[in-house]
Amino acid sequence: MTDKKAYLSIDGLDEKIELKISSGTIGPDVIDVSPLSANGYFTYDPGFVSTAACESGITYIDGGKGVLLHRGYPIEQLADKSDYLELCYLLFYGKLPTAEEKAEYVETIQRHTMVHEQVSHFFNGFRRDAHPMAIMCGVVGAMASFYHENTDLTCPEDRATTAARLVAKIPTLAAMCYKYSKGQPFVFPNNDLDYASNFLNMMFSTPCSDYEVNPVFAKAMDRIFMLHADHEQNASTSTVRLAGSSGANPYACIAAGITALWGPAHGGANEACLNMLEEIGDESRVDEFVARAKDKNDPFRLMGFGHRVYKNRDPRATVMQKTCDEVLAQLGRSDDPLFKVARKLEKAALEDEYFIEKKLYPNVDFYSGIVLRALGIPTSMFTVIFAVSRTIGWISHWNEMVSEPHRIGRPRQLYTGSAERDLP
């Protein structure tokens, strides 16, 4: 709390309402509006455009400058010098691990990679052609049935074990979704492989053919996991916090996060973006699609463009574009037609008055789809991979909330329905 105060004068009220102001480490000050309800008023902020719903020390975004910090460290430096599991440790525990702590953490994750054999039976209940995100919602929620009675939310060690189990098992479940859709047998995790290589191996090896993990691909996969690991109070993280605020089982809360992520305005944008690039198909059609995106009578939007918080280039998009260059060069596909369409589209939009005026820049999902496709991952799995990456962010936020005294999340409303009336 600062000494600064805000005073709200309302027509008909004799006295101004005094509101306290809090300052974070960095970022805008926050006006505490909680006294308003005692005076008979609520604030109204659909989409939470100006509302901080919690206090958090995990991730900071300066959308105007295009800055993303995890526990204070810039994403560009983390992507360059760290790796996904180290970032998981940092997000959850709040500090970088020492060499011993890192080794112990990696071993813990490896120890938890297998899922209970019963889980494999759930899959048979799903249609083979079901969207893998639909299956993920179900099987991740089902994990609550294995870890409920023995999870004490007030115990930090239990919460850390929950987080480790989730980080370890989510790639296994994601790969099982893919294998199920292909009609191929599930591949067990291989604990001799690093996190990203193990995921690629579970996706692409079969009992009849080994899959040799290309180190450039493994690095690209690890980068994708890192770039999607956390993004402060986005829709899915806020969903996990809201579900968790009631004391619900954490695996069920993560399943809630997966549902919120699925939509094309959020995590589903990577799938929608690749579908869009395929629909455009050729550089010659870019102008037509830019015109459609600007037409208010056309619901079409440029997928992978724009962000609620970034009003500058998404720093993750810059790293992703570099990764895209590396992967395509490794494959000898630098002239990939979709990459060319993406490049031309980006340039056309960035030079267009509509996108300049609305500060719409490419976001992380603009290039991630091209990388994932180059790794051989089908489009329908893109958002699942986002969910794998974001699990650490979700559970770190859940842990931060649960470890402090907190109230159940309970927004208010502006009621516009009928006033009280009698039945005829």
Residues with catalytic roles: 266, 307, 365
Nearest distance from C-beta of residue 365 to ligand CMC, angstroms: 5
Nearest distance from C-beta of residue 328 to ligand CMC, angstroms: 21
Q: Rule CB under 6 A: say whether 356 interacts with ligand CMC.
A: no
Q: Rule CB under 6 A: say whether 345 interacts with ligand CMC.
A: no
Give 216 or 309: the residue with its C-beta nearer to ligand CMC: 309
Give 194 or 230: the residue with its C-beta nearer to ligand CMC: 230
Which residue, 335, 342, 331, is CA-closest to 281? 342
Q: Rule CB under 6 A: say whether 302 interacts with ligand CMC.
A: yes
Nearest-5° Cα angle at 145, 260 to 392: 45
Q: Rule CB under 6 A: say whether 311 interacts with ligand CMC.
A: no
Q: What is the 3-state secondary structure (H, E, C) of 327-395?
A: HHHHCCCCCCHHHHHHHHHHHHHHCCHHHHHCCCCECCHHHHHHHHHHCCCCHHHHHHHHHHHHHHHHH
Q: Rule CB under 6 A: say whether 307 interacts with ligand CMC.
A: yes
CA distance linking residue 404 with residue 126, whole number of Å: 39
Give 20 or 301: the residue with its C-beta nearer to ligand CMC: 301
Q: Which two three-digit tokens encode residue 150?
A: 């023995």
Give 5 or 358: the residue with its C-beta nearer to ligand CMC: 358
Nearest distance from C-beta of residue 167 to ligand CMC, angstroms: 20
Q: Rule CB under 6 A: say whether 306 interacts with ligand CMC.
A: yes
Give the per-residue contact string, 131-170, with ligand CMC (x = CB under 6 A; - = no).
----------------------------------------
Nearest distance from C-beta of residue 299 to ligand CMC, angstroms: 10
By the 8 A CB rule, do 270 and 386 touch?
yes
Q: Rule CB under 6 A: say whether 301 interacts with ligand CMC.
A: yes
CA distance linking residue 185 with residue 168, whole number of Å: 20
By the 8 A CB rule, do 264 and 272 touch?
yes
Give the per-residue contact string, 31-50, with ligand CMC (x = CB under 6 A; - = no).
----------------x---
By the 8 A CB rule, do 356 and 305 touch?
no
Q: In sequence order, what are the beta bridge partners of 59? A: 70
The CB-nearest residue to ligand CMC is 306
Nearest distance from C-beta of residue 306 to ligand CMC, angstroms: 2
Collapse the DSSP code of 95 into the 3-class scheme (helix H, G, I; strand E, B; otherwise coil) and give the result: coil
Point out which span in 5-13, 137-145, 159-167, 303-311 binds ligand CMC (CB under 6 A).
Answer: 303-311
Give 116 or 358: the residue with its C-beta nearer to ligand CMC: 358
By the 8 A CB rule, do 70 and 76 touch?
no
Give whole-number Cα distances, 205 to 50, 172, 188, 217, 224, in Å.
47, 13, 10, 15, 21
Number of residues that bind ligand CMC (CB under 6 A): 21
Nearest distance from C-beta of residue 175 to ligand CMC, angstroms: 22
The continuous run of DSSP H or E covering 86 comes out as helix 84-93
Nearest-5° Cα angle at 221, 158 to 230: 45
Of residues 193 through 252, those in contact with ligand CMC by CB under 6 A are 231, 234
Which residue, 153, 151, 121, is CA-closest to 139? 121
- Which residues of this chain interact with ligand CMC, rule CB under 6 A? 47, 231, 234, 265-267, 269, 293, 301-308, 358, 360, 363-365
